[in-house]
Structure 1
Amino acid sequence: MVAALPYEILGIILNECVDDCGALYSCILINKAWYSVAIQHLWANPFLLLHSKSFNRNRAKNLLITFIECFTDIHTVKGSSKLLRRRCSKKPPFDYSLYLKTISSPAIAALVTLWLDTNIMEEVETIAVRIVYLAIQYCQQLRTIHLARQSTEAPWLHLDQLLVSIKSLPQLRRFTWRGDLCLEILDKFSNIAHNLEVLSINFERKNYYYFNEESSNSLRRLIDSQNQLKAIEVHNVSTNMESILDLLKSRSESLESIYFGEVKFNSDHLLFKPVKLNQLKNITMNGCKILCENGLNSLAMAGLPLLQRLSVDYCHIPCMAWERLLFYHGKKLIDINVSGQGMSERKFEVISQTCHNLRHLSVYVYSNEQLPFIAHTIKSLPTLHFLKLIQCLYSNYNYTHLFDIFSKCHLPHLDHLILFCNCNQFLSKSHPPLKTLTIFGENATGEHLDVILDYLSDTIRILRVDTNIDSLGDKCLERVKSVVKEFSTKRYSNYLRFACNIEECKKRLI
């Protein structure tokens, strides 16, 4: 029966365990059919799969030697020669070069450290770079390359020399560079990779970048050489927004998402030409600092006709910069996430005044004083469809006032509510038409569930609570299951990941 399964069915089955190295290894031992399908998944990302588990020296050694001997001998990689000629010492049962899709130099370096039992970083990184080069040279199905320079410049200059012989990487879709910009390598990738969809640059040690620097030319060439760049990530750098937008303007018709991680934005110039990014939909800022009131001026003035989502996590944004950004783009936004930071009354007021089409709102609650502002904002957003209120851990705030507001205003579209609740009187007299209700931070009792069903039985379909299911009575559980389609009890951290179904939401907007 197992042997008779079509390869298409086996592929569907094994897609469910693509991140489980142990399960995939067990599958290759079943029979030849399972082996031929499972080996493709196992070798799509073998180094990260093994790196993510508790691995030992023998496993690391066997994996690296198996891969290296597909192309050359071990002494060539471990020796001092700068040339890596293809000299196979033995023929593997499968051509693994056809299956490898992801290569990561940090993961390779971790395995090499185990294999050689050494902490000499330059030696480790030199061999890791050579293994990465073998993958780039001979694995034409590569879709993701992650390079991180951790020691001296010598190994990476070696990679720069090796890359000269590569003509193209037609399947490469994601490229990540972490460390000081190695301009020669960026220049080489601009010549051999033209179909990137995601580009991530982490400046790490270098702490500034501006469009008039010499280093900007190499990064600009890499970006300009891409045919379908959809997302870019910029991490750990001091810059200004004008420099970033000037860098990205050539990808106006393809770029859909920008992510800023721990970026310090200095003042924009008083005179700048507005940039158009016609396809941009998402802007995310995580751990960023806007150092002056006009630090987001060029973004506020930019042409962003399709902008839909703004996520601002753990960021310092001056009130004036926030006002200007929403004044120009607030009416287009359907999703705002202002988690992990204090929001003043004025900032909530700006959301109320400008974001009339807002469908999704995620807010961190730091104090009881914020609740009236949040309640007023919710009341002024008649199209709000999804609301996530996350309370700071170890706090003791009372949401009763918020639900009193619910009971006095009409929220016909509020379907999904995620609530970190530390009070017993949730819902109050409110009847929002909730389809999904998630409550965490409160050990829900049978009384809680009875209140929920009393108020929401006509609409509620999905109910998630943070509780011990054994503490709920059989009668209560029977009533819950008779009303809702999906009922689950999990740790609150699982609920932080829940989000509204975007496709469903888009249909409702039509």
Structure 2
Amino acid sequence: MAYKLPTDCLNEIFEYLEFDKFTLHSCLLVNHHWCEISVSILWRNTLNIKFGYRNSFKTKSSILSTLIACLPNESKKLLHDNEIFISTPTSKPLLFNYASFCKILSIYQINKMINSVLKNSLLDSKDGNSLVVNEIIKMFASQITSLKKLTYTFYHNNRNISFPHFPGARDLSELCVSSDLSSDFFYQLSQICHNLQSISIKFYDSITNELNELISSQNNLKNLYLSASDGSWADIIPTITKHSHTITKLKLYIDVSNSSYLFVSSFPNLQELIISSFDGVFEDFKKLQYVNFSKLQILKIPYKCPKPEYLMKFLENNGKNLKKFYIGGSDKALRSSIAKFCPNLKSLFIIFRNGELEVLKNTLSSCKYLESIKIWCGTDYLSEKEVLETVAKYSPSNFCELKIHHIIIDSDASPDYLESFFISWERRTPKKLLSFIIIVDAEFDFTYSCEILEIIEKYDDLGIIKFITKSEEEEIEEEEESYDFK
């Protein structure tokens, strides 16, 4: 008699396959029991898939047709009466109620999917698309019993969405919204949802009392992302600071000068701080440089940065605790100060200019716990040959990840030189698998020669390195996803 694994055991095993979609799909074919568990995981985050990268029109159409098949009869009749006919996968009843498995819901992605599938079809109309969106949202609201993440922002200014009562949202742990949503939506959530761990807000117009109440009513808010590109968060700061002792991760996107971030100084338990600004709105950093964050471990300023002297003072006060430092813009004095002020770093991205090889050497020698570094290579920056030679000679014993972002078309490293680097890595003590990651700008058609690729493949097969190539967009996206909020 064949032994049957209990459901709890299968669930635990299949959870490990969540990011291995190929293997998880193969489990669908074993039996009905395995199929149901696999489907529940595959549909948990189906509506948040990255349509713009690897998912085809066929995939989007398939998801939409399945959702249409899941609609209750009254919704199907409403679409039919409005002459909206979207084919379903089968005329027979579906095996599962797929909508009920969803745990991560994005109104933005629903809009995007429907507009994409119906675009250029006879069904494509603003009112018709909104009707489909509304019926699908109503279905999710009635079928999902425990929603974990909700993203609700407008798509192409489509404001004809009515958000229904959603009892399953009481279990929400992550919420991403824009400030100009209806006050009724924020009021509904504030009445049932009190355990949000993460809130992300894009600011437009004025702040409603209901949004303030929603934030105020949370019991243990930890992650906060505020984006002020077309509005100000000034009216919400008093409410935010009520959570100053529980918030540990803070991400700010600032492109308006009237959005002060001095309130950051009142967060004593901050562990991660990300400040993004394309316009260089950093006047507040003049005061922030003197604040001590005793628990800060991650600092990321990916685009324009404060004046170097401000940031150097900040690192003098806080650098010893930093584990990760990511800075897009800097000068030589700031780059040189990292070795002195940030000796405990594990991960670093900073742009070394041409002629600053000694700065890189000193950084690798001084940061004894460094495991990963990302470096630009190109005409105005260090050459790949210089980087490989320096990493091989000066990187600390725990070092295991080298990211090279090519700002050129061709590499200056010869096949012999690259093989010499891999051989030296193989001889290191202790032995560490090296993640050798190449990042390429979309505007450059960078490729290694066939001879170099053969050498890379050889040492990849030997288990000396793990070779990975990425586009700049993929690298940015993965960097964002390394945090619990966007």
Q: How does the TM-score come out when normalised to structure 1?
A: 0.70
What is the match of residue 150 of structure 2?
A: 145
Match among 252, 263, 266 for residue 260 of structure 1: 252
* Counterpart AA for 2:266: K
Counterparts of residues 58-457 of structure 1 (less than 5 Å): 59-69=62-72, 72-76=74-78, 93-96=95-98, 98-113=100-115, 114=117, 117=121, 118-150=123-155, 154-156=159-161, 158-159=162-163, 162-163=164-165, 166=166, 169-178=169-178, 180-203=180-203, 206=204, 215=207, 217-237=209-229, 246-261=238-253, 263-266=255-258, 268=260, 275-292=265-282, 294-297=283-286, 299-300=288-289, 304-338=293-327, 341-365=328-352, 367-378=353-364, 381-392=366-377, 397-398=382-383, 415-416=399-400, 418=402, 420=404, 445-446=415-416, 448-450=418-420, 452-454=422-424, 456-457=427-428
What is the match of residue 445 of structure 2?
A: none
CA distance in 1, matches of 2:274, 2:419: 36
CA distance in 2, matches of 1:152, 1:470: 47
Structure 2 gaps of 5+ residues are 83-91, 439-447
Aligned residues: 447
CA distance in 2, matches of 1:244, 1:377: 41
Structure 1 gaps of 5+ residues are 81-89, 209-213, 423-439, 503-510
* Counterpart AA for 1:108: I
Aligned in 2, Cα 1:463/1:230: closer, same or farther, shift over 3 Å? same
Cα RMSD of the aligned pairs, angstroms, is: 4.5
CA distance in 2, matches of 1:223, 1:473: 51
Secondary structure of 2:11's aligned partner: helix
- C-alpha contact (below 8 Å) 1:122/1:151 kept by paired residues: no
- C-alpha contact (below 8 Å) 2:398/2:432 kept by paired residues: no
Shift in Å, 1:368: 1.0
CA distance in 2, matches of 1:289, 1:250: 29
- C-alpha contact (below 8 Å) 2:400/2:433 kept by paired residues: no
- C-alpha contact (below 8 Å) 2:385/2:412 kept by paired residues: no
Percent sequence identity is: 17
Task: State the Cα deviation string for residues 295-334 of structure 1 (Å, max 9, x = none).
Answer: 2256445563311110111223223442443344233323
- C-alpha contact (below 8 Å) 1:102/1:145 kept by paired residues: yes
CA distance in 2, matches of 1:473, 1:373: 28
Q: How does the TM-score come out when normalised to structure 2?
A: 0.73
CA distance in 2, matches of 1:182, 1:170: 19
Shift in Å, 1:247: 4.6
* Counterpart AA for 2:160: P
Secondary structure of 2:160's aligned partner: helix
Tell me, yes or no, if structure 1 residue 489 matches structure 2 residue 459.
no
Pick 1 or 2: higher relative contact order, CA cutoff 8 A, min separation 6: 2
Shift in Å, 1:451: 5.2
Q: Which has the larger radius of gyration?
A: 1
